[in-house]
Amino acid sequence: MNRTAILVLWCAFSLSVFAQDAENTPGTLITDRPDATESPNTVPVGYIQVETGAFYESFKENGVTSETYTYNTTLVRLGLLENLELRLGWDFSEVKLSDQNTVLSGFNPLLLGIKTAIAKEKGALPDIGLIGHVFLPFSAGKDYKPETTGVDFRFSFAHTLSETSSLSYNIGAQWGDDSPEAAYIYTLAYGLGITEKLGAYAELYGDLPENHSANHYWDAGLTYLMSDSVQLDATIGSSITDGQDILISGGLSFRLPTKKNSL
């Protein structure tokens, strides 16, 4: 984890230097991390946005504690059209179980998806976006390889409350883990700008499987804008229902032009 932290900080420094030289960037970076709530905003045309990080999670179920170390939670977002982006995500995880000496490790299924911005905020009506993903089994390591393709979708909403605060929320559903059972998902996040560069958020989120007990979680964190195109983040969280003991996460997001004339 120390090596990961050093790499993240080094990348952030290098990208900050680059970003300071860029001109005509399309506003301040808006990311889909570190919280579980996805933004309704899409990446501008002509830009690629990379959101990456690492997290540690401890989870207890049926008397067995699992510790998950995810070293690479990378999501790549590419602006295709004015209101449409392509999304690719892949991460590498390592899981240790308290009742076994073995360690599970490998890549999770590749995420492939799109996001479209449906409507802009107007009065009491929020920004609205729609996001959909498929999770491709052939791309996963043998320890995490499902037999069927996973699917999820969600509608994303965002309200401006004041010059320094906002409220965002998602609703949707997901199918995965080789189960036909749908799990309905929700998120609710409050964001606050402490300074021009430093932000904070608090969030409730969870899922409601059709035939199993609901899972509810909370998290909170900080974001720091090194420039309009580079952001650092840190998060801590846990579950409200039985299960997750703790979640700790840190990450880096940055945006780059895909063509020289975008500078």
Tell me how far apart the alpha carbons of residues 192 and 126 are, in angstroms, rounded to a whole number.
Answer: 17
Helix runs in 22-158, H state only: none
CA distance 116 to 201: 24
C-alpha span between 56 and 95 (Å, rounded): 10
CATH 2.40.160.40 assigned to domain 2-262? The reply is: yes
What token pair was written down for 76? 């790549």
| Confidence band of 235 (pLDDT split at 50, 70, 90) | very high
Query: What is residue 16's predicted lDDT score, i.e. its pLDDT?
Result: 47
What is the per-residue pLDDT for 260?
59
8 Å CB contact between 128 and 115:
no
Between 11 and 167, the higher pLDDT residue: 167
Q: Please, are residues 67 and 245 in contact by the beta-carbon 8 Å criterion? A: no
Burial of 67 (0-12, 13-18, 19+ CB in 10 A): middle
Would you list the domain boundaries of the chain? Answer: 2-262
DSSP state for residue 38 in the 8-state scheme = P
Amino acid at 88: L
Q: What's the pLDDT band for 122 if we cut at 50, 70, 90?
A: very high
Q: What is the reported pLDDT for 21?
A: 42
* Terminal Cα distance for the chain, rounded: 35
Token pair for 199: 């932000």
Distance set, CA 49 to CA 76, 131, 178 (Å): 6, 16, 31
Q: Looking at residue 29, what is its pLDDT?
A: 95
- pTM, two decimals, is 0.86
Q: Which of 186, 82, 190, 75 is nearest to 133 (CA)?
A: 75
User: Does residue 10 have a pLDDT over 50?
Assistant: no
Mean pLDDT of the chain: 89
> Band of the pLDDT at 62, cuts 50, 70, 90?
confident
What digits encode the pLDDT tens for the residues 15-29?
444 444 444 568 899
Q: Residue 72: is its pLDDT beyond 70?
A: yes
